[in-house]
Amino acid sequence: MEKEIVFVTHNTGKIKSAEKYFKNLKFTTFNYELDEPRSDDIKEIAKAKVKQAYEIVKRPCIALDTDFRIDELNGFPRAFVNFALDTIGIQGMLKLMENKENRKCSFNECLAYHDGKEIHYFYGKHPRKFIKESSRN
């Protein structure tokens, strides 16, 4: 019997990330923008979101949060990726990385699953190298 989990999100692209963790489960999307606490801790954000999601759907559900960390910039922008893109943009981040030898960065994700009793966490880390120039010039 296939189990179903509700994914409460307005970002349906996040379903693809969730499917990596739960290959034998069916996801139903409940389109809703959850409140997001101001934090750079993706576990804290995912926990708050999944608790709110469970209160809405009253069924087992998941929430996912991601961050982007650039080693040379002490982990900037962390969970504030959208804020960084909205303020300094890709060109601004490239400017911050000018003449930096250490190009290591990573995309990280925390998926929180709430069954009504407990919250379980699943993590993904995807190491990369920061680009030297944008293809959007």
Q: Which amino acid is at 50?
A: V
Q: If DSSP codes are grouped into helix, strand and coil, which group holds residue 54?
A: helix
CA Rg, the chain, in Å?
Answer: 17
Q: What is the pTM assigned to this prediction?
A: 0.84
The C-alpha atoms of residue 27 and residue 105 are separated, in whole angstroms, by: 30
Residues 103 and 82: their CA atoms lie apart, in Å, by 20
Residue 25's pLDDT is 76
Separation between Cα atoms, residue 113 and residue 84, nearest integer Å:
28
Does the annotation mark 115 as catalytic?
Answer: no
Domains present along the chain, CATH in parentheses: 3-129 (3.90.950.10)
Q: What is the DSSP string of 5-23?
A: EEEE-S-TTHHHHHHHH-T
Set 35, 40, 41, 65: catalytic member: 65
Q: pLDDT tens digits, residue range 37-61?
A: 999 999 999 999 999 999 999 999 9
pLDDT band at 29 (very low <50, low <70, confident <90, very high): confident
pLDDT digits (tens, 9 = 90+) for 115-134: 999 999 999 999 999 988 76
In the chain, what percentage of residues exceed pLDDT 70?
A: 91
